[in-house]
Amino acid sequence: MTIHKSKLINPCIILYTYVRYPADRISPPRVEVNKEDDFDTWYEPIVVKGEMIDHCSLPGYFILKPVAYGMWEKVRSWLADHLQPLELQSFSVPILPYLGDRAQAPYAVSGSSSFPNAESVIYPYCRKWIKSHRDLPLRMNQWCIRFQHEQNPQPLLRSCEYLLQEVHSAHITKDSARQEAAQILELYSLLYRDLLAIPVVKGYKNAAYLQDTDISTGVVIAYIPATNQCIEGAKCHEFGQTLSKAYEITVRDPSATAEPAALLHVWQNCWRISIRALGVMVATHSDNHGLVLPPRIAETQVAIVAAQASSTDEQLILDTETDRLVSRLSSAGIRVKVDDLEGYSLGWRFNEWIVSGTPLFIVLGPNEVTNQVVTIRRRDLLHAEGKVEAAIPELHTIIPTTLANIQEELYRNALAKFQADQTRIADNWDDFIKSLYRDKLVCLTPHCRQRSCELYIEGMGSDGTDQALGSHIRCLCVPLEQPGATEECATPCINPTCKYSALKWAMFGYAY
C-alpha cells in the first residue's frame, strides 16, 4: 500500500489519498486465531495488522510504527501534565546493552542478576549533584531505552528493547520518600484507569523476597483475562538509605545546632513505567476482529469513510460536506481521518478500520449528504447495538459524548472481568488450591510472608505431591486495600504446614 498525504487540515486531522495494487492481489487483514484459543498466536498478528509494530531483522526486536509511538507520546504527555507539581528535572544517562561476560562489564555490581544496573551508573553522579539539603528533594526524570534478555519475546509486552520512563529521587527524610512512593503508585494507577481503561491493584512486593528490610517495591498489577495471568504495570522502588550508604550520598543535617553538622544519608526512590502498558492495553481490550483502542489513547478517534459519488458535481458536494464535517469535529477536539479510497467496497474498507481499532467510523456518501443523517458505528460493539443514526449538524456534540461512553464502558467491562477472576478470597487450603490451581483464578489469602512458606506455595520447594502449583504461580503483591483484618497469633497462614500466623492478605496467581 502506498499512501500520499494530500492535505493537512490541522494537527489533529490528515486527509489521505490511497493508491493500491489491484484488489484481486490484496487480501484484507483478518485475525485468524481466536484470543481464547491461543493468546500468544493471536497477540502478535493483532499488533502487526493493527499497524502498531513491524518486525525487523534482529530477533526479539520490533519496530514501533507511528500508531504505537503516537500512543506512547500520549502517555508521556499525560504524565508530564500530572507530574508537573513535582518539578522533575530532565536528564539522560547512557546505559548500553552488554553481550559479553557480565563480571567483566563496566558498571558491573557484585551479585547482581541483571546488567546493566541503572543505579550503579547513575548514583555515583548523584553524589556530585547533591551538595546540600537545599538540593532536596531531587527528582531526575529520563525517557530512555532499556535492554533485557527475553527467551520468548513479544512486541510491547516482552521486547528485548523497550521504552521507559524512569525517575530517580532523593529525599532528606523517610517520610518524604514514603509520601512520594504512595503518590506515584496512585498516579500510575490513575494513568491505567483514565488513559488506558484498565483496572489495576496497588500493592507492595512481599518483603520476603528482599534481603534488606529497608527496601520495598510498590507495584501496580494488571490482569489479562485471556490467559488468567497478572502482569506488573509499573513499579516504585523504595531504596531507603541502602544505596545512599553504598554510594556515600550525604548532606549536612540542617537541624544541627553544632558545627560541623552531622552527615545524613539521603532516602531514595526509583519509579518506572514502560511501553509494556500499551501491550497490556491491547491484551485487555482487543478481540478476535482486531485491535480495540480506548478513545483517549487512539491515534484516530473517528474515521470518515467516504463513499463514491456518481458524478463530478456530486463529488464536489460530497467533498465540501466532508471538509465541513472535519472542521466541526476538529473544533470539538476530535482526532479524525478521512478514508477516500477508490476501487474497494465499503465492507473491505470497514474491515481495515475494525482491525486498526478505531473507536468510531461513519459512512459519508451522497445519500447521507442529501438526508443530512449518518450512521455512527462503534468498534467495541460491532453488531446492531453498535450503530446509531445521527444528524450531521449534531455530530460535533454527539461524537465526544459517544467517545466518552466508549472509554468508560471499556473500563467497566475490564473491571467486571478483573473482579470476577481476581477477587476470590480463600481462607482455607482446599479452596485456595482449587481456585488457584484448578480454576486458575487470582486469590487473596492470609499469609505469613515467610520466604519458605512462599516457596512451598509456588511449588519450588514442594515435595512432589499434587499440591505443587507450578513455576508460574507467584505471590503477586500484598494489596494496599486489604479485604479484612488479620490479627497476628489469631489468623493462621493459608499453608497448613506453616507454623506462623498470617500478617497480611496476599495476592497469589499466575504471573505473566
Instruction: Verify that 171 and 222 share a domain, yes or no.
Output: yes
Left if phi > 0, otherwise alpha if psi is -120 to 50, otherwise beta: which for 67?
Answer: alpha
Q: How far apart are CA 182 and CA 216, in angstroms?
A: 12
Report yes or no on 278 lying in a domain: yes
Q: How far is CA 233 from the centre of its chain?
A: 6
Instruction: Verify that 216 and 274 share a domain, yes or no.
Output: yes
Last residue of a domain, one of 367, 390, 418: 418
**3-state secondary structure at position 458:** helix
Mean pLDDT for back-to-back runs of 10 residues, the chain (512 residues): 38 40 51 88 94 91 96 97 95 67 44 59 89 94 89 91 95 96 97 97 76 77 91 94 92 86 93 97 95 97 91 90 94 93 82 94 92 94 87 95 97 91 81 84 89 79 42 86 68 88 90 87
Q: How far apart are CA 251 and CA 172, in angstroms?
A: 8
pLDDT on residue 103: 47
Report yes or no on 436 lying in a domain: yes
Rounded-to-10 torsion of CA 219, 220, 225, 228: 20
Q: How far apart are CA 159 and CA 432, in angstroms?
A: 33
Q: How far apart are CA 308 and CA 19, in angstroms?
A: 15
Tens of pLDDT, residues 278-334: 999 999 999 999 999 999 999 999 999 998 888 889 989 999 999 999 999 999 999
Cβ atoms within 10 Å, residue 475 = 23
Q: How far apart are CA 16 and CA 317, in angstroms?
A: 18
pLDDT on residue 96: 65
Instruction: Verify that 183 and 308 share a domain, yes or no.
Output: no
Rounded-to-10 torsion of CA 230, 232, 233, 234: 160
Instruction: Verify that 226 and 366 share a domain, yes or no.
Output: no
Instruction: Verify that 468 and 364 share a domain, yes or no.
Output: no
Last residue of a domain, one of 285, 317, 337: 285
pLDDT on residue 471: 55
pLDDT on residue 425: 87
Report yes or no on 388 lying in a domain: yes
pLDDT on residue 108: 42
pLDDT on residue 488: 53
CATH number reported for the structural domain that contains residue 427 in this entry? 3.30.110.30
Instruction: Verify that 465 and 450 share a domain, yes or no.
Output: yes
Last residue of a domain, one of 399, 418, 437: 418
Instruction: Verify that 340 and 431 share a domain, yes or no.
Output: no
Report yes or no on 215 lying in a domain: yes
Instruction: Verify that 350 and 468 share a domain, yes or no.
Output: no
CATH number reported for the structural domain that contains residue 354 in this entry? 3.40.50.800
- With beta carbons less than 8 A apart as the criterion, state whether 195 and 292 touch: no
Instruction: Verify that 233 and 367 share a domain, yes or no.
Output: no
pLDDT on residue 368: 92
Report yes or no on 3 lying in a domain: no
Instruction: Verify that 188 and 91 share a domain, yes or no.
Output: yes
Left if phi > 0, otherwise alpha if psi is -120 to 50, otherwise beta: which for 459?
Answer: left
pLDDT on residue 100: 44
Give 162: exposed, middle or buried? Use CB within 10 Å, 0-12, 13-18, 19+. Answer: buried
**3-state secondary structure at position 96:** coil
Report yes or no on 262 lying in a domain: yes
- With beta carbons less than 8 A apart as the criterion, state whether 275 and 164 touch: yes
Report yes or no on 437 lying in a domain: yes
pTM of this prediction? 0.88
CATH number reported for the structural domain that contains residue 60 in this entry? 3.30.930.10
Q: How far apart are CA 23 and CA 25, in angstroms?
A: 5
Domain of residue 379: give its range.
302-418
Strand locations in 92-192 (E): 138-147, 161-171
Report yes or no on 93 lying in a domain: yes
Tens of pLDDT, residues 392-441: 999 999 999 999 999 999 999 999 988 887 668 888 888 888 888 878 88
Instruction: Verify that 155 and 215 share a domain, yes or no.
Output: yes
**3-state secondary structure at position 269:** strand
Instruction: Verify that 404 and 437 share a domain, yes or no.
Output: no
DSSP 116: S
Q: State the DSSP string of 371-419.
A: HTEEEEEESS--SGGGEEEEEGGGHHHHHHHHHHHHHHHHHHHHHHHHH
**Number of domains present in the structure of the chain:** 3
